[in-house]
Structure 1
């Protein structure tokens, strides 16, 4: 369907805006300010008498401040972050063999096999040599090298990768006392407007720091597997190719996210970057170290947030919010539990639109107002084998509860 009727996909298909992997400005709207008269010792804001000659309000005096000291303090914070975190940030270089087309007349050349080279960023997770980066940085690499800020260069082995969260772990063999693990922040406690600092290797310019703010929270994008990657942090800290896998930091130098993608027509920073929250990494990374993979719970539906027109066509209140089930994957947990996809079509604004699918309005008592709510809950709070209760509105308004035993998310190639 077109317009509002286009579906997103949870656990099967997610339609998102065009996102450019970083391969690893900001226009601040000025609010109107009261007239301020600056004096040598204080700034006075006086309320003028009204036309009716009512008594003037008391003068409010704001203590003078030194603008230069404010800027100097900001610069000191940035430099402290850089100096503290720099030993924990690494440059990641990769090499990959590129196959040559075989000529019908025999080998084209006796030269060594050509190799593709790439680069990204990463950071020290612990003192056992585990380095966190993006999956797309090291995917299909035949050789991975890690360079530290002190020019130590060492080869690394890929331990595990998760394309869905775009996280990966590589391991280096170095003495524990030579490794400086990062401090981890609390991404779930972030607020829009907080300082956000990125350190990485954009365009090969090693150990570059850029800064901005947390622009938004709870963004969702699709992964290369087309499953959803929820709860992303949006930032206007400039991110460019080579920043992928590097840390996004708070003002105390703690990692709050892993830089992973930008939204851009040019492939360069446009002030809209995204980072995987550190809470996701804390969930996924230990499994990558231990098992080489992370298994997600799987429901087995495709759908999207419920459009108003679809709600009306199904005799539901127009203000009904929830995840609208467009289709149910055959033999999936959703199918076995009895969830229903669309089963009829109606005409909406001159177009034939499928309707009739269940609308999930809560999971385990937690309200589901849109598709992203369901995705985030599934990723954060469920594992394969868990049984959850879904509150569902059916075509015509009947409300039912359905228990579903969740499965393990299949590989993309296994979904039909």
Structure 2
């Protein structure tokens, strides 16, 4: 009976729900008998344990003081921002249907069977006219075999390459059907673009279709390295627009716009050591588009006016160190045989000197004007040729030859194909 009572008391304790508050109880004592044995240590400890008392109730924290939400900014402060916001959203809705994503694939040589195509690049473009011509960059489509175009409404169509021009990094694709609402974008006169004006880019950075970024025109009159010439030098792409609107891989070929929704340039490159945007982007100016693209549509190619010279900028520092007869201009370092410059009688130098560890041929003509327009460096010369002249035009070159100036007439040729 003793064991039964002790066992019953222990069982009663063990089956109580954990975490519940226990009432104060006295454990039953074993009934004494003639042969009572000493209780175990565990039973003695249980019997002498202090009574369990209920825990104190949980205290509810007092509520924090009432606090009204911060007031919104007053209209006199937000109205200008609202106007800009409304303009950007309206511009995006209007322009976006004309901006496309371009997916390029190339033919792969046969591997154990038939040839197949593999994706090679992705870029952007925009609708140039109502006949399905799409402007993009040459570097987006070069080496491509097939081209797939995605419009903003989800329409996907195949396109064919109509023409391309490495010298301006422009190319034209054509689709045979347009989705509803897709209309061509108007071109601005890029000669009116000014530093500080708003610049809006729409394109497909990293494949993120129809992304808008906003910045300003941060520079004009830049030049980019273009295709190589037969003599080992490189032609330049002049009149480039610089912007801080975010441009990343995939934006190439998309439009750079002003606040009116007009194209001021075609996004083409970024200045970056990491491959991502670091604050300086470049766009081919719209006036180059208006000159080059119609020729690509018509002929599949564009002929750049060409003189046939190698050149080096002259500045006061170089003029003083080499005792040159002009303080600014373009020093002719090479005349290509049988070129327009050679036929016109322009002269290159005969003396070779070292400047900054590189050889430079001096003693040649220094171009200081073209058609009466002052030429202070090679960017100004190339810019004038690209925007103001065409193949077959006759121009008047003013050159400094020794201690005298001469006027030399030259008929421009077509830049040789690489």
Q: TM-score, normalised by structure 2?
A: 0.77
Give the deviation of 1:186 after TM superposition. Answer: 2.1
TM-align CA RMSD: 2.1
In structure 2, relative to structure 1, the CA distance for the partners of 1:325 and 1:69 (3 Å cut) is same
Contact 1:128 1:176 in 2 (8 A): no
Match of 2:339 in 1: 332
Give the deviation of 1:146 after TM superposition. Answer: 0.8
Give the deviation of 1:175 after TM superposition. Answer: 5.4
Match of 1:397 in 2: 403
- The answer as to 2:200 corresponding to 1:197 is yes
- The answer as to 2:98 corresponding to 1:95 is no
Counterpart-to-counterpart distance in 2, 1:115 and 1:352? 45
Contact 2:105 2:117 in 1 (8 A): no
Contact 1:314 1:397 in 2 (8 A): no
Q: How many residues align?
A: 340
Which ranges of structure 1 fall in alignment gaps of 5 or more residues? 1-63, 101-107
Counterpart-to-counterpart distance in 2, 1:314 and 1:139? 43
- The answer as to 2:240 corresponding to 1:232 is yes
- The answer as to 2:412 corresponding to 1:406 is yes
Contact 1:159 1:288 in 2 (8 A): yes
* Superposition map of 1:56-95 within 5 A: 66-95=76-105
Contact 1:314 1:356 in 2 (8 A): no
How big is each residue's C-alpha offset from its partner over 1:197-255, in whole Å with a ceiling of 9 and x where there is no partner?
00000000000001100000010111134311100100000101100000001011111
Q: Which has the higher contact order (CA 8 A, sep 6+)?
A: 1
Residue of structure 2 aligned with 1:383, choices 390, 403, 417: 390
Contact 1:127 1:176 in 2 (8 A): no
Counterpart-to-counterpart distance in 2, 1:291 and 1:353? 39
Contact 1:95 1:144 in 2 (8 A): yes
Residue of structure 1 aligned with 2:112, choices 91, 100, 109: 109
How big is each residue's C-alpha offset from its partner over 1:151-207, in whole Å with a ceiling of 9 and x where there is no partner?
111110111111110111111111596531112222111110100000000000000
In structure 2, relative to structure 1, the CA distance for the partners of 1:177 and 1:109 (3 Å cut) is closer
Match of 2:263 in 1: 255
Contact 1:133 1:168 in 2 (8 A): yes
- The answer as to 2:322 corresponding to 1:286 is no
Contact 1:310 1:355 in 2 (8 A): no
- The answer as to 2:378 corresponding to 1:371 is yes
* Superposition map of 1:118-157 within 5 A: 118-157=121-160
How big is each residue's C-alpha offset from its partner over 1:288-313, in whole Å with a ceiling of 9 and x where there is no partner?
11000111111001112114354246
Which ranges of structure 2 fall in alignment gaps of 5 or more residues? 1-73, 229-233
Counterpart-to-counterpart distance in 2, 1:362 and 1:189? 23
Q: Which has the larger radius of gyration?
A: 2
Match of 1:188 in 2: 191
Secondary structure of the corresponding residue to residue 253 of structure 1: coil
In structure 2, relative to structure 1, the CA distance for the partners of 1:347 and 1:188 (3 Å cut) is closer
Which has the larger displacement, 211-220 or 321-330? 321-330
Match of 2:174 in 1: 171
Residue of structure 2 aligned with 1:297, choices 297, 302, 305: 305
| Structure 1 consecutive aligned stretches of length 4 or more whose deviation exceeds 6 Å | 347-352
Counterpart-to-counterpart distance in 2, 1:178 and 1:155? 19
